[in-house]
Amino acid sequence: MIKTRFTRDFEIDHPIVCGGMVGVGTAELIAAVANAGALGFLSALTQPTPALLDEEIRRTKSMTDRPFGVNLTILPTIKPVPYDEYRQVILDNGIRYVETAGANPSSHLPSLKRAGVKVIHKAVAVRHSLSAQRMGVDAISVDGFECAGHPGEDDVPGLVLIPAVAADVDLPIIASGGFATGSGLAAALALGAHAINMGTRFVATVESSVHENVKRQIVANTERDTNLVFRKFRNTARVAKNAISERIREIEQEPDSSFDDIAELASGARGRESVLAQGRMDDGMWWAGQSQALINEVLTCQQVVDNIINEAEELIRDRMPAMATRSARLTS
């Protein structure tokens, strides 16, 4: 069993996290991740109201007695989101771990910290990680350029970003973006991380509530089957390559185009309904990372976690020492 600062601080068996994913992070998946000994996060904003989040937390508790958390993604929206009410539901249910993402979480930290909640903040740069550390978060989830979702505007891959953050930040670090295997976990630990975060890998599991077409598409896709959209608007997002994301890219390249020209195509509600729920793979935008190339079959969450831990342990225990021994012989 691989023990790290993160597994000790967050009281889990394995250094593996399933971060919050809107439309995906629901009770069935997060309970299965927890039961496998990893740490999963319900997506608060998947639930249209705080009352429905309360129900989802209770559903998750009915399926597992292991730790799990809630993701609170803070984004500018046309319709105001009652973040304070969502936060209160989290506190009322005694949730011990919260993952924040998007905008600065400082307004939420005092209430969360008073309640003894540990906060993980997602960051895409060293400077953002340092800012979050100064705010008082308990861990940093570092998103490299390979990740699904929003990798920032600097285009720094995890191989550089993870050790750069590790050199400057004195907090547990979760490596995110491109992880789906035991060799990835071993590499992340070598780079200075204390755990890995996987999104796309957990989408392609038996317990994930998305349509089977989505899972099959992830298995079929390669590292080249993503698109970067919203670059023109400095809100870069990595999504799966399909007819919709290709059309969004075409519109963005038009000199006079604005976000209004792609808003309907890029609608999150459209993607969740058409793709995630109904499996119409070219009818909406959906999120996927370059780790698709490493996902070869749909497995249970337990199988995914077991396979990753077993492979990482073998690498760390057997193959890496053997390689070091051979290297020493060659140079002697």
Query: Do 49 and 60 contact (CB within 8 A), yes or no?
Result: no
pLDDT in tens, 121-144: 999 999 999 999 999 999 999 999
What's 128-186 look like in SS3? HHHHHHHHCCCEEEEECCCCCECCCCCCCCHHHHHHHHHHHCCCCEEEECCCCCHHHHH
Other beta carbons within 10 Å of 82? 11
pLDDT of residue 322: 63
Q: Measuring CA to CA, how many Å separate 96 from each of 11, 18, 71, 251? A: 11, 16, 12, 43
Predicted confidence band of residue 330 (pLDDT cuts 50, 70, 90): very low
pLDDT of residue 228: 97
Q: Look up residue 278 and give its two tokens.
A: 């109904």
Residue 78, pLDDT > 80, answer no
d(CA 258, CA 250): 12
Residue 331, pLDDT > 50, answer no
Domains of the chain, earliest start first: 5-211+295-327 (3.20.20.70), 226-287 (no CATH)
pLDDT of residue 319: 74
Mean pLDDT within 226-232: 96
Mean pLDDT within 235-247: 96
Predicted confidence band of residue 99 (pLDDT cuts 50, 70, 90): very high
pLDDT of residue 183: 97
Mean pLDDT within 300-313: 98
Q: What is the mean pLDDT of the chain?
A: 94
d(CA 20, CA 66): 17
d(CA 168, CA 162): 10
Q: What is the DSSP string of 106-121?
A: TTTHHHHHHTT-EEEE
Predicted confidence band of residue 1 (pLDDT cuts 50, 70, 90): confident
Residue 283, pLDDT > 80, answer yes
The residue ranking higher by pLDDT, 94 or 317, is 94
Mean pLDDT within 212-223: 98
What are 4's strand-pairing partners? none
Query: Do 262 and 248 contact (CB within 8 A), yes or no?
Result: yes
Q: What is the DSSP string of 181-208?
A: SHHHHHHHHHTT-SEEE-SHHHHTBTT-
d(CA 24, CA 202): 9
Mean pLDDT within 189-204: 98
Residues of the chain with pLDDT > 70, as a percent, come to 95
Q: What is the DSSP string of 272-326?
A: IIIIIIT--TTSS--B--GGGGG--S-B-HHHHHHHHHHHHHHIIIIIHHHHHHH
The residue ranking higher by pLDDT, 327 or 20, is 20
Residues of the chain with pLDDT > 90, as a percent, come to 92
pLDDT of residue 271: 94
